[in-house]
Amino acid sequence: MWRRQPGRFRLVGCGVEELRRCWREREAALRKARREQQLVSKRLLRDEAPEEAEEVAAILGEAEIQQFLRLAQRGTEGKEREKALVSLRQGLQHLETQQTFIRLEGSMRTLIGLLTSNLALLQLEAARCLHELSHSEQPAVAEACLPATSYLLTYLSGHSSDFIELCLYTLGNLIVESEAVRRQLLPQGIVPALAACIQSPHVAVLEALGYALSQLLQAKEAPEKIIPRTSAGSSIMGSTLLQHMLRLLQPGPKLSPGVAVEFAWCLHYIICSQVNNALLITHGALSTLGLLLLDLAGAVQRTEDAGLELLACPVLRCLSNLLTEAAVEAVGGQIQLGDERVVAAIFILLQFFLQKQPSLLPEGLWLLNNLTANSPSFCTSLLSLDLIEPLLQLLPVSNVVSVLVLTVLCNIAEKGPAYCQRLWPGPLLPSLLDTLAFSDTEVVGQSLELLQLLFLYQPEAAQAFLQQSGLQALQRHEGEAQLQDRVHALRETALRG
pLDDT tens profile 128-149: 999 999 999 898 998 899 999 9
Note the pLDDT of residue 368: 95
Q: Are residues 130 and 219 in the same domain?
A: no
Note the pLDDT of residue 478: 77
427: in domain: no
**Which residue, of 243, 276, 300, is where some domain finishes?**
300
Ranked by mean pLDDT, which of 259-263, 423-427, 492-496 comes out on top?
Answer: 259-263
Query: Looking at per-residue confidence, does 360 or 43 come out higher?
Result: 360
Q: Is the pLDDT of residue 304 over 60?
A: yes
Residue 212 lies in domain: 189-300
- Cα-only R_g, the chain: 28
Query: Looking at per-residue confidence, does 4 or 49 come out higher?
Result: 49
Note the pLDDT of residue 34: 47
134: in domain: yes
356: in domain: no
Q: Are residues 157 and 201 in the same domain?
A: no
**Which residue, of 171, 204, 233, is where some domain finishes?**
171
Q: Is the pLDDT of residue 48 over 70?
A: no
pLDDT class for 384, splitting at 50, 70, 90?
Answer: very high
CA 245/CA 263 separation, integer angstroms: 6
Q: Are residues 201 and 296 in the same domain?
A: yes
CATH of residue 131? 1.25.10.10
pLDDT class for 231, splitting at 50, 70, 90?
Answer: very low
- Which of 14-18, 201-205, 292-296, 377-381 is the least confident region? 14-18
Query: Could you read off the pLDDT of 151-168 as tens digits, one per residue?
Result: 999 999 998 999 999 999
479: in domain: no
What is the pTM assigned to this prediction?
Answer: 0.86
113: in domain: yes
Q: Are residues 165 and 230 in the same domain?
A: no
458: in domain: no
pLDDT class for 177, splitting at 50, 70, 90?
Answer: confident
Q: Are residues 164 and 226 in the same domain?
A: no
Question: In total, how many domains does the chain have?
Answer: 2
218: in domain: yes
Query: Could you read off the pLDDT of 426-469 as tens digits, one per residue?
Result: 899 999 999 999 989 999 999 999 999 999 898 888 888 888 88
Query: Could you read off the pLDDT of 386-440 as tens digits, one per residue?
Result: 999 999 999 999 999 999 999 999 999 999 999 999 998 889 999 999 999 998 9
336: in domain: no
Note the pLDDT of residue 331: 54
Q: Are residues 141 and 213 in the same domain?
A: no
Percent of the chain clearing pLDDT 90 (strictly above): 58
Note the pLDDT of residue 227: 92
- Which of 50-64, 83-97, 272-286 is the least confident region? 50-64
- Which of 19-28, 54-63, 249-258 is the least confident region? 19-28
Start-to-end CA distance of the chain, whole Å, equals: 38
Q: Are residues 200 and 154 in the same domain?
A: no
Query: Could you read off the pLDDT of 61-111 as tens digits, one per residue?
Result: 999 999 999 999 988 787 899 999 999 999 999 999 999 999 999 999 999
Q: Are residues 212 and 154 in the same domain?
A: no
pLDDT averaged over every residue in the chain: 85
Note the pLDDT of residue 10: 28
**Which residue, of 238, 267, 300, is where some domain finishes?**
300
